[in-house]
């Protein structure tokens, strides 16, 4: 598909360049032939004038006793015009050949981002379909088994319903994350931006993940300093929750997670450090890709998730003109750093 599109785009480039080149060539040719005709006309008038004056007032003899006149030949003028036409055609043919090659290269560069976007979209649809199929298949299978069981009891039916509710909750979590990611990729939500204290963001995020941390007996230590930023408070809390939840998932029981809120220069820094399984160097460049965990990390850990959390966190950071960085050593923990520009207050003069 893209090969045909590239050829068509190149053809359009060539058509435009040909139209411009031929138009300029025609204009230049007309200007040159006009000047040549004007020169020929003036030359003929001058010859006629010289001949007329010579008839009445003979010119003095030259040293070799010969009288010479400049005779204008129209055939030479016509031949010159024909040679100009040939030269312009050769020039335009050269321009078309060069423009064709360069246009093909330019068309490839123009279409490459579109091709990349469509490939990502196809992969996104494929991954989303795969993730949606798993809980749907589980719900369908459990219901079918229950319907075929003629001796099913109320307790068994309730158990099936509980399992189905868990699968539905899983589907709801996935769709919520997909919608959030789509919202962030389209235009974000900057109309909700306000002045926010990073200390309050971190405190709210810790409060939300504390029940999960208690299940693994994980301690969260805080080192907080106020930093005023401009952004969507709820989105920033969600970003910190994603990072804390990620640290809890990949940390062993009875360990400690450290979270720091500080000011570094003109930026507010929120840093989350864990002592978990770490990330291999080959994975670090992909951890912010959508569904990456679903493709790779699922085989390394029994934790739940879809690989969308870090993608959402990165989008939130970018929406706030910030950065989300990661440092990790395999089997030795990871450190995620959320860097946000501080809110600057302009003093009135």
Element (H, E) at 219: strand 219-224
Q: Residue 305: pLDDT above 80? A: no
Mean predicted confidence (pLDDT) in 313-322: 90
Q: Of residues 261 and 124, which shows the higher confidence score?
A: 261
What is the structure's pLDDT at 138?
A: 79
- What's the predicted TM-score (pTM) here? 0.59
Q: How confident is the model at residue 216 (pLDDT cuts 50, 70, 90)?
A: very high
Output the pLDDT for position 325.
94
Least confident span in 28-42, 100-114, 295-309: 295-309
Question: Which pLDDT score is estimated for 342?
Answer: 92
What is the pLDDT confidence band of residue 288, given thresholds at 50, 70 and 90? confident
3-state secondary structure of 122: helix
Q: Tell me, what's the pLDDT at 296? A: 42
Tell me if 317 sits within 8 A of 253, measured CB to CB: no
Distance between CA atoms of residues 136 and 170, nearest Å: 10
The per-residue pLDDT for 263 is 93
The 10s digit of each residue's pLDDT in 146-167 is 888 888 888 888 888 888 888 7
Q: What is the DSSP letter of 232?
A: -
Q: What is the DSSP string of 272-302?
A: EE--SS---HHHHTTTTSTTHHHHTGGGT--
Query: What pLDDT is attached to residue 148?
Result: 86
Q: Is the model's pLDDT at 98 over the cut of 50?
A: yes
Helix (H, G, I), strand (E, B), or coil: what is residue 225?
coil
Q: Which residue has the higher pLDDT, 96 or 67?
A: 96
Q: Residue 58 — very low, low, confident or very high, per pLDDT cuts 50/70/90?
A: low
> What pLDDT band is residue 346 in, cutting at 50, 70 and 90?
very low
pLDDT for 192 = 74
State residue 332's pLDDT score: 86
Structural tokens at position 78: 């016509």
Cα–Cα distance measured from residue 76 to residue 79, given in angstroms and rounded to the nearest whole number? 5
Please compute the mean of the pLDDT values over residues 88-94 and round it to a whole number. Answer: 89
How far apart are the C-alpha atoms of 126 and 296, rounded to whole Å?
A: 15
Q: What's residue 175's pLDDT?
A: 80
CA distances from 166 to 155, 159, 161, 330 (A): 17, 11, 9, 33
Q: Which CATH architecture has domain 191-341?
A: 2-Layer Sandwich (3.30)
Instruction: Identify whether the C-beta of residue 219 lies closer than 8 Å to the C-beta of residue 184.
Output: no
Cα separation, 23 vs 234, whole angstroms: 60
């Amino acid at each position: 598909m893209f090969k045909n599109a590239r050829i068509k785009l190149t053809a359009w480039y060539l058509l435009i360049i040909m139209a411009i080149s031929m138009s300029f060539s025609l204009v230049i040719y007309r200007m040159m032939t006009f000047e040549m005709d004007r020169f020929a006309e003036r030359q003929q008038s001058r010859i006629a004038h010289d001949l007329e004056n010579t008839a009445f007032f003979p010119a003095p003899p030259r040293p070799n006793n010969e009288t010479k006149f400049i005779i204008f030949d129209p055939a030479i003028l016509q031949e010159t015009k024909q040679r100009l036409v040939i030269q312009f055609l050769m020039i335009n043919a050269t321009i078309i050949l060069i423009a064709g090659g360069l246009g093909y290269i330019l068309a490839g560069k123009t279409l490459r981002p579109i091709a990349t976007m469509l490939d990502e979209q196809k992969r996104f649809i494929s991954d989303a379909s795969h993730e949606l199929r798993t809980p749907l298949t589980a719900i369908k299978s459990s219901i079918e088994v229950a319907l075929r069981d003629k001796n099913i009891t109320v307790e068994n039916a309730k158990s099936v319903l509980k399992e189905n509710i868990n699968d539905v909750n899983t589907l709801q979590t996935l769709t919520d994350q997909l919608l959030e990611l789509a919202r962030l990729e389209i235009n974000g939500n900057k109309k909700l931006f306000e002045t926010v204290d990073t200390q309050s963001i971190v405190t709210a995020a810790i409060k939300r993940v504390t029940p999960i941390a208690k299940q693994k007996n994980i301690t969260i230590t805080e080192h907080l300093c106020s930093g005023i930023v401009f952004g969507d408070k709820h989105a920033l809390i969600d970003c910190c929750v994603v990072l804390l939840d990620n640290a809890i998932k990949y940390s062993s029981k009875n360990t400690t997670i450290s979270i720091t809120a500080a000011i570094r220069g003109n930026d507010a820094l929120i840093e989350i450090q864990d002592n978990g399984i770490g990330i291999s160097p080959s994975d670090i460049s992909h951890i912010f890709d959508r569904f990456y965990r679903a493709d790779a990390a699922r085989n390394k850990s029994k934790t739940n998730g879809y690989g969308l959390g870090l993608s959402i966190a990165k989008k939130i950071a970018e929406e706030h003109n910030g950065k989300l960085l990661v440092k990790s050593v395999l089997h030795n923990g990871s450190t995620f750093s959320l860097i946000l520009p501080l809110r600057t207050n302009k003093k009135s003069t």
